[in-house]
Structure 1
Amino acid sequence: MSAPRNRTIRLTEAEQDDYQRRLIRLDCPALLHTILNRTICQDLFEVLDWLPDQCVDLLFVDPPYNLTKQFNQQSVKRRSLADYESWVDSWLAPLVRTLKPNASVYLCGDWQSSPALYTVASRYFIVRNRITWEREKGRGAKANWKNCAEDIWFCTVSNTYYFDADAVRLKRLVRAPYTLKGDPKDWERTASGNFRLTAASNLWTDLTIPFWSMPENTDHPTQKPEKLLAKIILASSPSGGVVLDPFLGSGTTSVVAKKLDRHFVGIEMDEQFACLAEKRLDLAETSRQIQGYCDRVFWERNSLPWQRLLKP
Protein backbone atom coordinates (compact mmCIF):
# COMPACT_ATOMS: atom_id res chain seq x y z
CA MET A 1 0.00 0.00 0.00
CA SER A 2 1.30 3.46 -0.89
CA ALA A 3 1.97 6.11 1.72
CA PRO A 4 -0.85 8.67 2.13
CA ARG A 5 1.09 11.41 0.32
CA ASN A 6 2.21 9.16 -2.53
CA ARG A 7 0.45 10.48 -5.64
CA THR A 8 2.06 8.13 -8.18
CA ILE A 9 -0.31 7.33 -11.04
CA ARG A 10 -0.92 3.59 -11.33
CA LEU A 11 -3.40 1.36 -13.14
CA THR A 12 -5.94 -1.05 -11.71
CA GLU A 13 -6.68 -4.21 -13.68
CA ALA A 14 -10.03 -2.77 -14.73
CA GLU A 15 -8.38 0.45 -15.93
CA GLN A 16 -5.76 -1.52 -17.85
CA ASP A 17 -8.52 -3.41 -19.68
CA ASP A 18 -10.45 -0.22 -20.40
CA TYR A 19 -7.52 1.83 -21.64
CA GLN A 20 -6.19 -1.06 -23.70
CA ARG A 21 -9.28 -0.79 -25.89
CA ARG A 22 -8.40 2.83 -26.70
CA LEU A 23 -4.97 2.00 -28.10
CA ILE A 24 -4.60 1.66 -31.85
CA ARG A 25 -2.38 -0.37 -34.17
CA LEU A 26 -1.41 0.35 -37.77
CA ASP A 27 -1.21 -2.20 -40.57
CA CYS A 28 -1.58 0.12 -43.56
CA PRO A 29 -0.87 3.78 -44.43
CA ALA A 30 -2.75 6.05 -42.02
CA LEU A 31 -4.44 9.36 -42.64
CA LEU A 32 -3.58 12.04 -40.10
CA HIS A 33 -7.09 12.31 -38.67
CA THR A 34 -7.11 8.59 -37.83
CA ILE A 35 -4.06 8.82 -35.57
CA LEU A 36 -4.40 12.39 -34.26
CA ASN A 37 -4.64 12.56 -30.46
CA ARG A 38 -4.22 8.80 -30.23
CA THR A 39 -1.69 6.42 -28.72
CA ILE A 40 -0.27 3.85 -31.14
CA CYS A 41 0.80 0.75 -29.21
CA GLN A 42 3.39 -0.85 -31.47
CA ASP A 43 7.09 -1.16 -32.04
CA LEU A 44 8.20 1.99 -33.86
CA PHE A 45 9.71 -0.03 -36.72
CA GLU A 46 6.30 -1.60 -37.41
CA VAL A 47 4.67 1.78 -38.02
CA LEU A 48 7.37 3.91 -39.66
CA ASP A 49 6.10 3.12 -43.16
CA TRP A 50 2.46 3.82 -42.25
CA LEU A 51 2.79 7.35 -40.83
CA PRO A 52 1.54 10.21 -43.06
CA ASP A 53 3.92 12.61 -44.80
CA GLN A 54 4.68 16.21 -43.78
CA CYS A 55 2.14 16.49 -40.98
CA VAL A 56 4.31 17.08 -37.89
CA ASP A 57 5.20 20.52 -36.50
CA LEU A 58 7.34 19.25 -33.64
CA LEU A 59 9.16 15.94 -33.22
CA PHE A 60 10.22 15.19 -29.65
CA VAL A 61 12.39 12.11 -29.25
CA ASP A 62 13.45 10.62 -25.91
CA PRO A 63 14.89 7.26 -27.02
CA PRO A 64 16.51 4.66 -24.77
CA TYR A 65 19.97 5.97 -23.97
CA ASN A 66 23.01 3.84 -24.67
CA LEU A 67 22.75 2.08 -21.32
CA THR A 68 21.80 -1.33 -20.01
CA LYS A 69 18.34 -0.78 -18.55
CA GLN A 70 15.03 -2.51 -17.96
CA PHE A 71 11.82 -0.84 -19.22
CA ASN A 72 9.03 -3.00 -17.81
CA GLN A 73 9.17 -6.12 -20.03
CA GLN A 74 11.76 -4.66 -22.42
CA SER A 75 15.50 -4.95 -21.82
CA VAL A 76 17.93 -2.53 -23.44
CA LYS A 77 21.63 -3.32 -23.55
CA ARG A 78 24.58 -1.01 -23.94
CA ARG A 79 26.30 -1.19 -27.33
CA SER A 80 29.26 0.49 -29.00
CA LEU A 81 28.80 4.15 -29.90
CA ALA A 82 28.99 3.24 -33.59
CA ASP A 83 26.23 0.65 -33.21
CA TYR A 84 24.11 3.09 -31.22
CA GLU A 85 24.58 5.68 -33.97
CA SER A 86 23.42 3.17 -36.58
CA TRP A 87 20.37 2.34 -34.48
CA VAL A 88 19.44 6.03 -34.14
CA ASP A 89 19.81 6.49 -37.90
CA SER A 90 17.57 3.47 -38.56
CA TRP A 91 14.50 5.23 -37.11
CA LEU A 92 15.37 8.93 -37.43
CA ALA A 93 15.93 8.83 -41.20
CA PRO A 94 12.42 7.41 -41.93
CA LEU A 95 10.83 9.97 -39.59
CA VAL A 96 12.15 12.89 -41.67
CA ARG A 97 9.37 12.51 -44.25
CA THR A 98 6.70 13.00 -41.53
CA LEU A 99 7.96 16.51 -40.79
CA LYS A 100 6.65 19.74 -42.23
CA PRO A 101 9.27 21.92 -44.00
CA ASN A 102 9.20 24.33 -41.03
CA ALA A 103 9.22 21.65 -38.31
CA SER A 104 11.52 21.48 -35.28
CA VAL A 105 13.15 18.42 -33.73
CA TYR A 106 14.37 17.81 -30.17
CA LEU A 107 16.56 14.79 -29.40
CA CYS A 108 17.30 13.75 -25.80
CA GLY A 109 20.43 11.98 -24.60
CA ASP A 110 23.01 11.68 -21.84
CA TRP A 111 26.71 12.50 -22.18
CA GLN A 112 27.47 9.04 -23.56
CA SER A 113 24.76 8.89 -26.23
CA SER A 114 24.77 12.59 -27.11
CA PRO A 115 27.65 12.45 -29.65
CA ALA A 116 25.81 9.82 -31.69
CA LEU A 117 22.60 11.84 -31.62
CA TYR A 118 24.43 14.94 -32.85
CA THR A 119 26.13 13.03 -35.66
CA VAL A 120 22.90 11.55 -36.98
CA ALA A 121 20.89 14.75 -36.53
CA SER A 122 23.50 16.65 -38.53
CA ARG A 123 22.82 14.42 -41.54
CA TYR A 124 19.18 15.43 -41.82
CA PHE A 125 18.65 18.70 -39.95
CA ILE A 126 20.16 22.03 -39.05
CA VAL A 127 21.43 21.62 -35.49
CA ARG A 128 20.79 24.96 -33.78
CA ASN A 129 21.64 24.44 -30.13
CA ARG A 130 22.38 22.00 -27.35
CA ILE A 131 20.24 22.39 -24.26
CA THR A 132 21.73 21.07 -21.04
CA TRP A 133 19.33 20.46 -18.20
CA GLU A 134 20.02 19.59 -14.61
CA ARG A 135 18.69 16.21 -13.57
CA GLU A 136 19.13 16.53 -9.85
CA LYS A 137 18.36 12.90 -9.05
CA GLY A 138 21.05 10.24 -9.02
CA ARG A 139 23.59 8.66 -6.73
CA GLY A 140 27.00 10.12 -6.08
CA ALA A 141 30.07 8.33 -7.39
CA LYS A 142 33.17 7.62 -5.30
CA ALA A 143 35.59 7.77 -8.23
CA ASN A 144 33.83 10.14 -10.62
CA TRP A 145 31.68 13.25 -10.76
CA LYS A 146 28.01 12.69 -10.06
CA ASN A 147 26.13 12.53 -13.35
CA CYS A 148 23.22 14.99 -13.07
CA ALA A 149 22.97 16.62 -16.50
CA GLU A 150 21.41 15.57 -19.80
CA ASP A 151 21.42 17.02 -23.30
CA ILE A 152 18.66 17.93 -25.72
CA TRP A 153 19.66 18.74 -29.30
CA PHE A 154 17.46 21.42 -30.89
CA CYS A 155 17.24 21.06 -34.67
CA THR A 156 15.12 22.38 -37.51
CA VAL A 157 14.29 21.02 -40.94
CA SER A 158 15.04 24.35 -42.62
CA ASN A 159 15.88 27.97 -41.92
CA THR A 160 12.17 28.76 -41.70
CA TYR A 161 10.76 27.50 -38.42
CA TYR A 162 8.49 28.45 -35.53
CA PHE A 163 10.04 29.73 -32.30
CA ASP A 164 8.23 31.75 -29.61
CA ALA A 165 10.83 33.06 -27.16
CA ASP A 166 8.26 35.12 -25.24
CA ALA A 167 6.28 31.97 -24.38
CA VAL A 168 9.15 30.41 -22.42
CA ARG A 169 10.45 33.24 -20.27
CA LEU A 170 11.70 32.36 -16.80
CA LYS A 171 10.72 34.31 -13.70
CA ARG A 172 13.72 34.48 -11.39
CA LEU A 173 14.04 35.70 -7.85
CA VAL A 174 16.17 38.87 -7.68
CA ARG A 175 18.63 38.51 -4.83
CA ALA A 176 20.52 41.75 -5.37
CA PRO A 177 17.92 44.17 -6.76
CA TYR A 178 19.35 47.18 -8.57
CA THR A 179 17.42 50.42 -8.48
CA LEU A 180 17.64 53.62 -10.49
CA LYS A 181 16.58 56.60 -8.41
CA GLY A 182 14.78 54.22 -6.10
CA ASP A 183 12.82 52.47 -8.83
CA PRO A 184 13.37 48.82 -9.86
CA LYS A 185 15.50 48.43 -12.97
CA ASP A 186 14.45 45.43 -15.09
CA TRP A 187 12.61 43.73 -12.20
CA GLU A 188 9.39 44.14 -10.22
CA ARG A 189 8.39 44.21 -6.58
CA THR A 190 5.56 41.86 -5.58
CA ALA A 191 4.01 40.73 -2.32
CA SER A 192 5.83 37.42 -2.76
CA GLY A 193 9.25 38.92 -3.46
CA ASN A 194 11.32 40.67 -6.11
CA PHE A 195 11.33 39.00 -9.53
CA ARG A 196 12.80 39.45 -12.99
CA LEU A 197 11.58 37.94 -16.26
CA THR A 198 14.52 36.53 -18.20
CA ALA A 199 14.93 35.00 -21.63
CA ALA A 200 15.14 31.22 -21.77
CA SER A 201 18.70 29.97 -22.23
CA ASN A 202 20.16 26.61 -23.21
CA LEU A 203 20.96 25.84 -19.56
CA TRP A 204 17.91 24.62 -17.63
CA THR A 205 18.32 24.43 -13.85
CA ASP A 206 14.67 24.92 -12.86
CA LEU A 207 13.36 21.38 -13.42
CA THR A 208 12.34 18.74 -10.89
CA ILE A 209 12.36 15.06 -11.83
CA PRO A 210 8.93 13.56 -11.02
CA PHE A 211 8.87 11.79 -7.69
CA TRP A 212 6.27 10.08 -5.49
CA SER A 213 4.53 13.16 -4.08
CA MET A 214 4.06 14.87 -7.47
CA PRO A 215 0.73 14.34 -9.25
CA GLU A 216 2.44 13.67 -12.59
CA ASN A 217 4.63 10.84 -11.26
CA THR A 218 4.44 7.30 -12.67
CA ASP A 219 6.58 4.20 -12.27
CA HIS A 220 8.27 4.76 -15.62
CA PRO A 221 12.05 4.68 -14.93
CA THR A 222 13.01 7.62 -17.19
CA GLN A 223 9.96 9.89 -17.08
CA LYS A 224 10.61 13.46 -18.19
CA PRO A 225 9.07 16.37 -16.24
CA GLU A 226 5.94 17.95 -17.71
CA LYS A 227 7.65 21.31 -17.25
CA LEU A 228 10.46 20.25 -19.62
CA LEU A 229 7.97 19.31 -22.34
CA ALA A 230 6.01 22.51 -21.76
CA LYS A 231 9.09 24.60 -22.55
CA ILE A 232 9.72 22.74 -25.80
CA ILE A 233 6.10 22.60 -26.94
CA LEU A 234 5.43 26.28 -26.25
CA ALA A 235 8.65 27.41 -27.91
CA SER A 236 8.54 25.24 -31.01
CA SER A 237 4.94 24.52 -31.97
CA PRO A 238 1.99 26.80 -32.70
CA SER A 239 -1.35 26.41 -30.98
CA GLY A 240 -3.16 23.61 -32.78
CA GLY A 241 0.10 22.19 -34.11
CA VAL A 242 0.94 18.48 -34.25
CA VAL A 243 3.51 17.00 -31.84
CA LEU A 244 4.91 13.51 -32.49
CA ASP A 245 6.67 11.40 -29.86
CA PRO A 246 7.86 8.01 -31.20
CA PHE A 247 9.08 6.80 -27.77
CA LEU A 248 6.14 7.98 -25.71
CA GLY A 249 6.77 6.12 -22.45
CA SER A 250 4.11 7.03 -19.89
CA GLY A 251 2.73 9.83 -22.03
CA THR A 252 4.26 13.09 -20.83
CA THR A 253 4.51 14.57 -24.34
CA SER A 254 0.89 13.78 -25.22
CA VAL A 255 -0.41 15.04 -21.87
CA VAL A 256 1.44 18.36 -22.06
CA ALA A 257 0.46 18.84 -25.70
CA LYS A 258 -3.18 18.38 -24.68
CA LYS A 259 -2.87 20.81 -21.77
CA LEU A 260 -1.34 23.41 -24.08
CA ASP A 261 -3.89 23.05 -26.89
CA ARG A 262 -1.72 21.14 -29.34
CA HIS A 263 -2.52 17.89 -31.14
CA PHE A 264 -0.38 14.83 -30.53
CA VAL A 265 0.55 11.42 -31.87
CA GLY A 266 2.25 9.05 -29.45
CA ILE A 267 3.94 5.74 -30.24
CA GLU A 268 4.76 3.32 -27.41
CA MET A 269 5.45 -0.40 -27.71
CA ASP A 270 4.82 -1.27 -24.03
CA GLU A 271 1.11 -1.73 -23.42
CA GLN A 272 1.21 -0.87 -19.73
CA PHE A 273 3.01 2.41 -20.34
CA ALA A 274 0.66 3.20 -23.23
CA CYS A 275 -2.33 2.64 -20.93
CA LEU A 276 -0.72 4.89 -18.33
CA ALA A 277 -0.53 7.58 -21.00
CA GLU A 278 -4.26 7.15 -21.63
CA LYS A 279 -5.05 7.48 -17.93
CA ARG A 280 -2.96 10.65 -17.70
CA LEU A 281 -4.80 12.05 -20.72
CA ASP A 282 -8.07 11.43 -18.88
CA LEU A 283 -6.72 13.23 -15.82
CA ALA A 284 -5.77 16.18 -18.04
CA GLU A 285 -9.47 16.64 -18.78
CA THR A 286 -10.01 17.98 -15.26
CA SER A 287 -6.61 19.55 -14.51
CA ARG A 288 -4.42 21.51 -16.91
CA GLN A 289 -1.86 22.26 -14.21
CA ILE A 290 1.82 21.99 -15.15
CA GLN A 291 3.99 22.19 -12.08
CA GLY A 292 6.37 25.15 -12.36
CA TYR A 293 4.38 26.91 -15.09
CA CYS A 294 1.85 29.55 -14.05
CA ASP A 295 0.61 32.92 -15.32
CA ARG A 296 2.21 32.12 -18.70
CA VAL A 297 5.73 32.10 -17.29
CA PHE A 298 8.05 29.44 -15.93
CA TRP A 299 9.05 29.82 -12.31
CA GLU A 300 12.57 29.26 -11.05
CA ARG A 301 12.63 26.20 -8.81
CA ASN A 302 11.82 27.07 -5.17
CA SER A 303 11.71 30.80 -5.85
CA LEU A 304 8.01 31.15 -5.10
CA PRO A 305 5.32 29.01 -3.49
CA TRP A 306 3.53 29.11 -6.87
CA GLN A 307 1.41 26.11 -5.93
CA ARG A 308 -0.83 28.53 -3.99
CA LEU A 309 -1.66 30.32 -7.22
CA LEU A 310 -2.94 27.09 -8.77
CA LYS A 311 -5.40 26.19 -6.03
CA PRO A 312 -9.08 26.87 -6.80
Structure 2
Amino acid sequence: MRLYYHDDLAKIYHGDAFEYLSKVKDHTIDLIVTDPPYFLSNGGFSNSGGKMVSVNKGKWDEAKGVNVEFFYDNLIREFKRILKKDGSFWIFGNMHNIYLLGYLIQKHDLKILNNITWQKSNPAPNLSCRMFTHSTETILWGKNRSGKQTFNYALMKAENDNRQMKDVWTTSNTSKGEKRFGKHPTQKPLAIIERIIKASSVPGMTVLDPFIGSGTTAVACKKYDCKVIGVDSELEYLRIAKKRIIDYQNEKVGKIQ
Protein backbone atom coordinates (compact mmCIF):
# COMPACT_ATOMS: atom_id res chain seq x y z
CA MET A 1 0.00 0.00 0.00
CA ARG A 2 1.50 3.34 -1.02
CA LEU A 3 0.27 6.87 -1.51
CA TYR A 4 0.23 7.37 -5.27
CA TYR A 5 -1.03 10.96 -5.51
CA HIS A 6 -2.26 13.68 -3.19
CA ASP A 7 -3.29 17.32 -3.25
CA ASP A 8 -5.34 19.61 -1.04
CA LEU A 9 -8.48 17.45 -1.32
CA ALA A 10 -7.49 14.09 -2.81
CA LYS A 11 -5.44 11.14 -1.59
CA ILE A 12 -5.10 8.21 -3.98
CA TYR A 13 -3.49 4.93 -2.90
CA HIS A 14 -2.11 2.04 -4.92
CA GLY A 15 -2.94 -1.22 -3.22
CA ASP A 16 -5.61 -3.64 -2.08
CA ALA A 17 -8.97 -2.18 -1.05
CA PHE A 18 -9.37 -4.45 1.96
CA GLU A 19 -5.86 -3.76 3.19
CA TYR A 20 -6.67 -0.06 3.17
CA LEU A 21 -10.11 -0.51 4.72
CA SER A 22 -8.63 -2.49 7.60
CA LYS A 23 -6.56 0.58 8.54
CA VAL A 24 -9.45 3.05 8.53
CA LYS A 25 -10.58 4.02 12.02
CA ASP A 26 -14.13 3.28 13.11
CA HIS A 27 -16.81 5.85 12.24
CA THR A 28 -14.55 8.32 10.38
CA ILE A 29 -16.00 8.37 6.84
CA ASP A 30 -18.93 10.59 5.83
CA LEU A 31 -19.76 9.02 2.48
CA ILE A 32 -18.74 5.95 0.46
CA VAL A 33 -19.24 5.91 -3.31
CA THR A 34 -17.95 2.86 -5.13
CA ASP A 35 -18.27 0.55 -8.10
CA PRO A 36 -16.77 -2.79 -6.98
CA PRO A 37 -15.89 -5.68 -9.29
CA TYR A 38 -18.95 -7.51 -10.65
CA PHE A 39 -16.84 -10.64 -11.33
CA LEU A 40 -18.20 -11.10 -14.85
CA SER A 41 -14.91 -11.70 -16.71
CA ASN A 42 -15.64 -15.29 -17.66
CA GLY A 43 -14.42 -15.63 -21.25
CA GLY A 44 -17.74 -14.62 -22.81
CA PHE A 45 -18.49 -11.99 -25.45
CA SER A 46 -20.34 -8.70 -25.65
CA ASN A 47 -20.93 -5.94 -28.20
CA SER A 48 -19.00 -2.69 -28.48
CA GLY A 49 -19.49 -0.28 -31.35
CA GLY A 50 -21.17 -3.01 -33.38
CA LYS A 51 -18.25 -5.40 -32.91
CA MET A 52 -18.07 -8.60 -30.90
CA VAL A 53 -15.60 -8.13 -28.03
CA SER A 54 -14.50 -10.11 -25.00
CA VAL A 55 -16.30 -9.38 -21.73
CA ASN A 56 -13.04 -9.86 -19.84
CA LYS A 57 -12.07 -6.67 -17.99
CA GLY A 58 -8.93 -7.94 -16.25
CA LYS A 59 -7.85 -10.27 -13.48
CA TRP A 60 -9.39 -7.91 -10.92
CA ASP A 61 -12.84 -8.82 -12.31
CA GLU A 62 -12.36 -12.60 -12.55
CA ALA A 63 -14.42 -14.77 -10.22
CA LYS A 64 -12.05 -17.75 -10.49
CA GLY A 65 -10.68 -18.47 -7.03
CA VAL A 66 -12.88 -15.79 -5.44
CA ASN A 67 -15.73 -16.46 -3.02
CA VAL A 68 -17.90 -13.63 -4.30
CA GLU A 69 -20.35 -13.65 -1.41
CA PHE A 70 -17.47 -13.58 1.10
CA PHE A 71 -15.90 -10.67 -0.83
CA TYR A 72 -19.07 -8.56 -0.76
CA ASP A 73 -19.89 -9.57 2.81
CA ASN A 74 -16.52 -8.29 4.03
CA LEU A 75 -17.01 -5.11 2.02
CA ILE A 76 -20.40 -4.30 3.53
CA ARG A 77 -19.14 -5.17 7.02
CA GLU A 78 -16.33 -2.65 6.59
CA PHE A 79 -18.78 -0.04 5.31
CA LYS A 80 -20.78 -0.33 8.51
CA ARG A 81 -17.68 -0.10 10.69
CA ILE A 82 -16.07 2.96 9.10
CA LEU A 83 -19.15 5.08 8.37
CA LYS A 84 -20.03 7.86 10.76
CA LYS A 85 -23.40 7.54 12.47
CA ASP A 86 -25.02 9.85 9.91
CA GLY A 87 -22.92 8.63 6.99
CA SER A 88 -24.23 6.88 3.90
CA PHE A 89 -22.96 4.76 1.03
CA TRP A 90 -23.65 4.24 -2.66
CA ILE A 91 -22.73 0.99 -4.38
CA PHE A 92 -23.13 0.03 -8.05
CA GLY A 93 -24.29 -3.33 -9.34
CA ASN A 94 -26.30 -5.08 -12.03
CA MET A 95 -28.61 -8.08 -12.30
CA HIS A 96 -25.73 -10.46 -11.60
CA ASN A 97 -24.79 -9.13 -8.16
CA ILE A 98 -27.27 -6.54 -6.94
CA TYR A 99 -29.59 -9.01 -5.22
CA LEU A 100 -26.67 -10.46 -3.28
CA LEU A 101 -25.52 -6.96 -2.32
CA GLY A 102 -29.04 -6.01 -1.22
CA TYR A 103 -29.30 -9.13 0.94
CA LEU A 104 -25.92 -8.49 2.58
CA ILE A 105 -26.70 -4.84 3.27
CA GLN A 106 -29.78 -5.88 5.20
CA LYS A 107 -27.96 -8.79 6.83
CA HIS A 108 -25.63 -6.25 8.45
CA ASP A 109 -28.62 -4.23 9.66
CA LEU A 110 -28.02 -1.34 7.28
CA LYS A 111 -30.96 0.39 5.64
CA ILE A 112 -31.45 0.77 1.89
CA LEU A 113 -32.72 4.28 1.19
CA ASN A 114 -33.11 4.08 -2.57
CA ASN A 115 -32.74 1.64 -5.41
CA ILE A 116 -31.58 3.93 -8.23
CA THR A 117 -32.03 2.58 -11.74
CA TRP A 118 -29.43 3.92 -14.13
CA GLN A 119 -30.97 3.67 -17.58
CA LYS A 120 -28.53 3.73 -20.49
CA SER A 121 -29.89 5.56 -23.51
CA ASN A 122 -27.46 3.76 -25.86
CA PRO A 123 -27.01 0.21 -24.53
CA ALA A 124 -25.10 -2.45 -26.41
CA PRO A 125 -27.42 -4.82 -28.33
CA ASN A 126 -27.97 -8.35 -27.07
CA LEU A 127 -25.94 -10.73 -29.24
CA SER A 128 -27.91 -13.88 -28.45
CA CYS A 129 -31.26 -12.39 -29.52
CA ARG A 130 -32.87 -14.74 -26.98
CA MET A 131 -33.66 -12.15 -24.29
CA PHE A 132 -34.28 -8.44 -23.83
CA THR A 133 -31.37 -6.05 -24.22
CA HIS A 134 -29.69 -5.23 -20.91
CA SER A 135 -29.97 -1.46 -20.58
CA THR A 136 -29.81 -0.72 -16.86
CA GLU A 137 -27.57 -0.91 -13.83
CA THR A 138 -28.56 -0.36 -10.21
CA ILE A 139 -27.12 1.91 -7.54
CA LEU A 140 -28.09 1.17 -3.94
CA TRP A 141 -28.04 4.06 -1.48
CA GLY A 142 -27.86 2.96 2.13
CA LYS A 143 -27.06 4.14 5.64
CA ASN A 144 -26.80 3.15 9.26
CA ARG A 145 -30.29 2.26 10.42
CA SER A 146 -30.25 4.78 13.28
CA GLY A 147 -28.46 7.54 11.38
CA LYS A 148 -29.78 10.61 9.60
CA GLN A 149 -28.20 10.82 6.17
CA THR A 150 -27.33 14.03 4.34
CA PHE A 151 -29.78 14.63 1.50
CA ASN A 152 -29.83 17.94 -0.34
CA TYR A 153 -33.50 17.66 -1.21
CA ALA A 154 -34.02 21.27 -2.28
CA LEU A 155 -31.04 21.17 -4.65
CA MET A 156 -32.19 17.93 -6.29
CA LYS A 157 -35.69 19.35 -6.69
CA ALA A 158 -34.34 22.57 -8.18
CA GLU A 159 -32.29 20.59 -10.71
CA ASN A 160 -35.42 18.69 -11.73
CA ASP A 161 -37.61 21.65 -12.79
CA ASN A 162 -38.81 22.11 -9.20
CA ARG A 163 -40.25 18.60 -9.04
CA GLN A 164 -39.19 15.78 -6.75
CA MET A 165 -36.38 13.83 -8.38
CA LYS A 166 -37.25 10.22 -9.17
CA ASP A 167 -35.16 7.10 -8.76
CA VAL A 168 -34.64 6.46 -12.50
CA TRP A 169 -31.70 8.36 -13.96
CA THR A 170 -30.97 8.31 -17.68
CA THR A 171 -27.65 8.99 -19.38
CA SER A 172 -25.68 7.65 -22.31
CA ASN A 173 -22.77 5.36 -21.67
CA THR A 174 -19.55 7.08 -20.65
CA SER A 175 -18.48 9.38 -23.47
CA LYS A 176 -15.14 9.35 -25.28
CA GLY A 177 -14.50 12.83 -23.88
CA GLU A 178 -14.44 11.44 -20.35
CA LYS A 179 -11.86 8.88 -21.46
CA ARG A 180 -9.46 11.38 -23.01
CA PHE A 181 -6.58 10.23 -20.79
CA GLY A 182 -7.29 6.53 -21.26
CA LYS A 183 -10.02 3.92 -21.00
CA HIS A 184 -11.37 2.03 -18.03
CA PRO A 185 -13.70 -0.84 -19.00
CA THR A 186 -16.33 -0.11 -16.34
CA GLN A 187 -16.00 3.68 -16.02
CA LYS A 188 -19.25 5.33 -14.97
CA PRO A 189 -20.47 8.66 -16.40
CA LEU A 190 -19.34 11.69 -14.41
CA ALA A 191 -22.92 13.00 -14.52
CA ILE A 192 -24.06 10.05 -12.37
CA ILE A 193 -21.29 10.44 -9.79
CA GLU A 194 -21.73 14.22 -9.68
CA ARG A 195 -25.41 13.82 -8.88
CA ILE A 196 -24.56 11.39 -6.07
CA ILE A 197 -22.01 13.78 -4.55
CA LYS A 198 -24.30 16.79 -4.87
CA ALA A 199 -27.24 14.90 -3.39
CA SER A 200 -25.57 13.35 -0.35
CA SER A 201 -22.64 15.49 0.75
CA VAL A 202 -21.64 18.99 1.78
CA PRO A 203 -18.25 20.66 1.22
CA GLY A 204 -15.58 19.42 3.58
CA MET A 205 -16.98 15.91 4.00
CA THR A 206 -14.67 12.91 3.57
CA VAL A 207 -15.64 10.59 0.73
CA LEU A 208 -14.09 7.14 0.22
CA ASP A 209 -13.99 5.06 -2.96
CA PRO A 210 -12.09 1.79 -2.35
CA PHE A 211 -12.29 0.85 -6.05
CA ILE A 212 -11.64 4.24 -7.60
CA GLY A 213 -10.46 3.03 -11.02
CA SER A 214 -9.92 5.96 -13.36
CA GLY A 215 -10.88 8.52 -10.73
CA THR A 216 -14.43 9.64 -11.50
CA THR A 217 -15.37 9.86 -7.82
CA ALA A 218 -12.30 12.00 -7.14
CA VAL A 219 -13.10 14.35 -10.02
CA ALA A 220 -16.64 14.89 -8.73
CA CYS A 221 -15.40 15.47 -5.17
CA LYS A 222 -12.83 18.01 -6.33
CA LYS A 223 -15.56 19.92 -8.17
CA TYR A 224 -17.68 20.15 -5.03
CA ASP A 225 -14.97 20.69 -2.41
CA CYS A 226 -15.17 17.31 -0.71
CA LYS A 227 -12.14 15.47 0.59
CA VAL A 228 -11.70 12.19 -1.25
CA ILE A 229 -9.72 9.02 -0.56
CA GLY A 230 -9.37 6.52 -3.39
CA VAL A 231 -7.78 3.10 -3.62
CA ASP A 232 -7.09 0.86 -6.59
CA SER A 233 -4.88 -2.12 -7.30
CA GLU A 234 -4.25 -1.26 -10.96
CA LEU A 235 -1.53 1.29 -11.72
CA GLU A 236 -2.78 1.61 -15.29
CA TYR A 237 -6.01 3.15 -14.03
CA LEU A 238 -4.41 5.24 -11.32
CA ARG A 239 -2.27 6.94 -13.98
CA ILE A 240 -5.50 7.94 -15.73
CA ALA A 241 -7.05 9.04 -12.43
CA LYS A 242 -4.09 11.28 -11.60
CA LYS A 243 -4.33 13.08 -14.93
CA ARG A 244 -8.08 13.54 -14.56
CA ILE A 245 -7.78 14.86 -11.01
CA ILE A 246 -5.11 17.37 -11.98
CA ASP A 247 -7.22 18.50 -14.94
CA TYR A 248 -10.61 18.18 -13.20
CA GLN A 249 -11.75 21.70 -14.13
CA ASN A 250 -11.76 20.71 -17.80
CA GLU A 251 -13.88 17.59 -17.39
CA LYS A 252 -16.97 17.63 -19.60
CA VAL A 253 -20.16 16.41 -18.00
CA GLY A 254 -22.76 14.64 -20.12
CA LYS A 255 -26.52 15.13 -19.90
CA ILE A 256 -28.53 13.36 -17.22
CA GLN A 257 -32.27 13.12 -16.81
Q: Shorter chain as normaliser: what TM range?
A: 0.7 to 0.9
Instruction: State the secondary structure of the residue aligned to 1:95.
Output: helix
1:85 corresponds to: 69
TM-score by length of 1: 0.69
Q: Distance in 1 between matches of 2:57 and 2:158?
A: 33
Task: Give the counterpart of 2:119 among 125, 134, 149.
Answer: 134
CA contact (8 A) 2:85 2:147 kept: no
Q: Distance in 2 between matches of 1:211 and 1:163?
A: 28
Measured against aligned partners, the alpha-carbon deviations of 1:226-284 in whole angstroms (never above 9, x if no partner) come to 11011111111111111110111100001111011111000111011011111100111
Query: Identity of paired residues, percent?
Result: 26
1:30 corresponds to: none
Instruction: State the secondary structure of the residue aligned to 2:95.
Output: coil
1:261 aligns with 2:225: yes
TM-score by length of 2: 0.83
Q: Distance in 2 between matches of 1:167 and 1:123?
A: 32
Q: Distance in 1 between matches of 2:61 and 2:100?
A: 21
1:222 corresponds to: 186
Q: Which amino acid aligns with 1:144?
A: M
1:184 corresponds to: none
Measured against aligned partners, the alpha-carbon deviations of 1:20-51 in whole angstroms (never above 9, x if no partner) come to x9606xxxxxxxx9996111110112222212
Instruction: State the secondary structure of the residue aligned to 1:49.
Output: helix
Q: Which amino acid aligns with 2:88?
A: S
Gap runs ≥5 in structure 2: 42-54
CA contact (8 A) 1:57 1:241 kept: yes
Q: Which amino acid aligns with 2:4?
A: L
Gap runs ≥5 in structure 1: 1-20, 25-32, 173-195, 293-298, 301-312
Task: Give the counterpart of 2:167 among 185, 198, 202.
Answer: 202
Structure 1 or 2, whichever has the larger Rg, is 1
1:121 aligns with 2:105: yes
* Corresponding residue pairs, total: 238
CA separation of 1:170 and 1:147: change in aligned 2, threshold 3 A: farther
Residue 96 of structure 1 and its aligned partner are, at CA, apart by: 2.2
1:96 aligns with 2:80: yes
Task: Give the counterpart of 1:42 among 7, 11, 15.
Answer: 15
Residue 166 of structure 1 and its aligned partner are, at CA, apart by: 2.1
CA separation of 1:34 and 1:102: change in aligned 2, threshold 3 A: farther
1:146 aligns with 2:130: no
Measured against aligned partners, the alpha-carbon deviations of 1:120-171 in whole angstroms (never above 9, x if no partner) come to 1112311122111112321224100000111111111134111112222475
Task: Give the counterpart of 1:287 among 225, 246, 250.
Answer: 250
- How is 1:13-24 mapped onto 2 (pairs within 5 angstroms)? 23=4
Q: Distance in 2 between matches of 1:70 and 1:168?
A: 36
CA separation of 1:64 and 1:75: change in aligned 2, threshold 3 A: closer
2:37 corresponds to: 64
CA separation of 1:288 and 1:143: change in aligned 2, threshold 3 A: closer
2:95 corresponds to: 111
Q: Distance in 1 between matches of 2:9 and 2:219?
A: 13
Q: Distance in 2 between matches of 1:118 and 1:50?
A: 25
CA separation of 1:133 and 1:79: change in aligned 2, threshold 3 A: farther
CA contact (8 A) 1:244 1:264 kept: yes
CA separation of 1:199 and 1:53: change in aligned 2, threshold 3 A: same
Residue 288 of structure 1 and its aligned partner are, at CA, apart by: 6.1
Measured against aligned partners, the alpha-carbon deviations of 1:196-244 in whole angstroms (never above 9, x if no partner) come to 4432111112x122232x2455410110011101111111111111111
Instruction: State the secondary structure of the residue aligned to 2:72.
Output: helix
Task: Give the counterpart of 1:76 among 62, 74, 81.
Answer: 62
RMSD: 2.7
Residue 84 of structure 1 and its aligned partner are, at CA, apart by: 2.4
Measured against aligned partners, the alpha-carbon deviations of 1:58-89 in whole angstroms (never above 9, x if no partner) come to 11121111412533564513799xx4222201
